[in-house]
Amino acid sequence: MFEDLLQRLGLTDRNAGACGTSWIHAPGDDWLVAVNPATAEPLGQVAATPADAYERVIEDAQAAFLAWRNVPAPRRGEVIRRLGQALRECKRDLGLLVTLETGKIRAEGEGEVQEMIDMCDFAVGLSRQLYGLTIASERPEHRMMEQWHPLGPVGIITAFNFPVAVWSWNAALAAVCGDTMVWKPSPITPLTAVAVQHIANRVAAECDCPGVFNLCVGGTDPGERMIHDRRLPLISATGSCRLGTRVGEVVGRRLGRSLLELGGNNAIIVTPSANLDLALRATLFAAVGTAGQRCTSVRRLIVHESVAGELVDRLVAAYRTLPIGNPWEDGVLVGPLIHENAVVTMMRAIERAKEQGGDLIQGGKRLDRPGFFVEPALVRARPDMPVVGEETFAPILYVLTYRTLDEALALHNAVEQGLTSAIFTESLREAERFLSAEGSDCGIANVNIGTSGAEIGGAFGGEKASGGGREAGSDAWKAYMRRQTCTINRSDSLPLAQGIRFDATAP
Ligand code: NAD
């Protein structure tokens, strides 16, 4: 049905999954099958990267780094400008492939590619702004400065639910910072990764910079190889909190750097003064958009008891008319979950919520059709229910009520994760308190917009079990470079800092 699309993106039934300066085809490949979650039918196969292919990829990335680090940053920016242009040209096709492989609707699939383009634009500008500071020295005729150098080949591990955008958050920054990279995508979404690698390869060939963008498709292996590998000074890992714990431990043991973008358990607080129309629309997008499979999806709605009745009634009515269906069809807003296991996990979480005293007030059933479709669920819950503290990667929204803002903030911050958060209020005081040091403890805090759908210009990431990493905008680029503090003496004397005297004479 979509053969033409796959062909236009350079994909065949069976694709190599390892790429350094060229694609590596190994005999006896172990094949990963990409499945369309809306039909449960296979889309194509990609070879997992065996140990010897991994070695070749890393060697290519290392060798390319030696040249790439010396390319002036604005010229590196030109490569990323061309990458952005190539992505513009295939936005529809790549967006549709994202839809087919992840089940997210067309608008969101194309939105992901737009995010890649935005990241490229951002990085092009950044390539002329990798600023260091000049620092006043306490010593006469001395100058101090900070400069930023490329770090080395960077390991990028990504999750299934943003199969291309998260690569670009890392890749665009790493490339202008002078790093080469090795990408290990989710084994659930290998086709989009191969398609992106084809695009990156074309740009690298045009710009004569082979080995900057490299790929190692696979699961825990080659993932474990990467996190243990001292040749990768930075591992940027996006995924579950469990993944982050593992990456943090292993990379920490070798004193490498890790940049962790992990799970969330995000909440929206709705206060008595809130514009309920806005709160309703934002909650819907954040709760059921991407079928609840965003790290930024809202999982807890903390509503003031005076408005809870009205808001919940309106949510139930909206949930009842949600267009659920094939994500590539016009008008559909909710596609399938990613696989069978995700459906089972969602159903188990709903059962546990009921056992723990929750009340399923809407949805929560599997749809009787091929693929992995569910009805998004609304559950009236109590904060002490253990399941409310977990990130179930599915469209389950727990509704909690509160009386005072103190209570709402305590509930809000009571979970292990700290990714993103929002408050709906018309009260300046409430909004400012939410944004203050005693307010939301998350990496992202919004007022009168929902928890999901961040722009790339801000640094993206969360606190606590959400990992502490920051990617995309602001000064996130600094994670991809090494800082060097330099002191330059233009005098004939050698004064020491802190006034220390050390008058040894040379013979
Ligand atoms: P996951 O943790 O199962 O897998 C993520 C990636 O880690 C995959 O590529 C996987 O193969 C790899 N991996 C797993 N074990 C590994 C190991 N031992 N060594 C090396 N690599 C290993 O996550 P998922 O199910 O693909 O994605 C959903 C999760 O990701 C959710 O928790 C979601 O919140 C989170 N997520 C976070 C962000 C963010 O920016 N904070 C963005 C997207 C997704």
Q: φ, ψ for residue 96 (rounded to 5)?
A: -70, -35
Is residue 64 pLDDT above 90, yes or no? yes
CATH label of the domain that carries residue 275: 3.40.309.10
End-to-end Cα separation, the chain, in angstroms: 84
Average pLDDT value for the chain: 97
Answer yes or no: do 473 and 440 share one domain.
no
Residue at 390 is within a domain: yes
Residue at 492 is within a domain: no
What DSSP state is assigned to residue 190?
Answer: H
Residue 145 host element (H or E): strand 142-150
CA atoms lying within 13 Å on the CB side of residue 184: 25
Structural domain for 54, as ranges: 3-262+467-484
Is residue 303 pLDDT above 80, yes or no? yes
CATH label of the domain that carries residue 70: 3.40.605.10
Alpha helices by DSSP H, listed for 254-385, are 276-288, 305-320, 340-355
Is residue 507 pLDDT above 80, yes or no? no
Across the range 98-109, mean pLDDT stands at 98
Among 32, 225, 229, 240, name the best residue to mutate to test ligand 1's pocket (greatest count of ligand atoms within 8 A of Cβ): 240
Residue pair 15/51 in contact by the 8 Å Cβ criterion: no
Answer yes or no: do 328 and 285 share one domain.
yes
Is residue 505 pLDDT above 90, yes or no? no
Beta strands 234-238 and 257-261 are: parallel
**Ligand 1 neighbour 265 (Cβ under 6 A):** no
**Ligand 1 neighbour 229 (Cβ under 6 A):** no
Spell out the residues 6+ positions from residue 281 whose beta carbon is closer than 8 angstroms to its own.
none
Model confidence pLDDT, tens digit, residues 3-40: 899 999 999 999 999 999 999 998 777 999 999 999 99
Answer yes or no: do 279 and 172 share one domain.
no
User: Ligand 1 center to residue 239 CA distance, Å?
Assistant: 2
pTM of model > 0.85: yes
Answer yes or no: do 336 and 249 share one domain.
no
Among 168, 259, 295, name the best residue to mutate to test ligand 1's pocket (greatest count of ligand atoms within 8 A of Cβ): 295
Q: φ, ψ for residue 501 (rounded to 5)?
A: -105, 135
pLDDT number for residue 3: 84
Residue at 446 is within a domain: yes
Answer yes or no: do 185 and 77 share one domain.
yes
Residue 1's pLDDT band, with cuts at 50, 70 and 90, is low
User: Ligand 1 center to residue 460 CA distance, Å?
Assistant: 16
Among 161, 228, 344, name the best residue to mutate to test ligand 1's pocket (greatest count of ligand atoms within 8 A of Cβ): 161
Counting residues of the chain whose pLDDT is more than 70, the rounded percentage is: 100
Answer yes or no: do 109 and 159 share one domain.
yes
For residues 215 and 83, give the distance between their C-alpha atoms in angstroms, rounded to a whole number: 16
Atom of ligand 1 nearest to the CA of 187: 11
Residue at 397 is within a domain: yes
Spell out the residues 6+ positions from residue 53 whose beta carbon is closer than 8 angstroms to its own.
18, 24, 26, 216
Report the 10 Å Cβ neighbour count for 354.
Answer: 15
CA atoms lying within 13 Å on the CB side of residue 73: 19
User: Ligand 1 center to residue 246 CA distance, Å?
Assistant: 11
Residue at 505 is within a domain: no
Answer yes or no: do 229 and 81 share one domain.
yes
Answer yes or no: do 59 and 208 share one domain.
yes
Residue 300 host element (H or E): strand 298-304
Answer yes or no: do 403 and 429 share one domain.
yes
Residue at 500 is within a domain: no
Answer yes or no: do 284 and 345 share one domain.
yes
Which residues are marked as active site? 261, 295
Answer yes or no: do 319 and 217 share one domain.
no
Residue pair 398/268 in contact by the 8 Å Cβ criterion: no
Tokens of 310: 């009205």
**Ligand 1 neighbour 162 (Cβ under 6 A):** yes
**Ligand 1 neighbour 338 (Cβ under 6 A):** no
Model confidence pLDDT, tens digit, residues 387-425: 999 999 999 999 999 999 999 999 999 999 999 999 999
pLDDT number for residue 421: 98
Answer yes or no: do 122 and 55 share one domain.
yes
Is residue 385 pLDDT above 90, yes or no? yes
Residue at 476 is within a domain: yes
Instruction: Count up the domains in the chain and report the number.
Output: 2
Residue closest to 155 by CA, chosen among 19, 257, 30 = 257
Residue at 348 is within a domain: yes
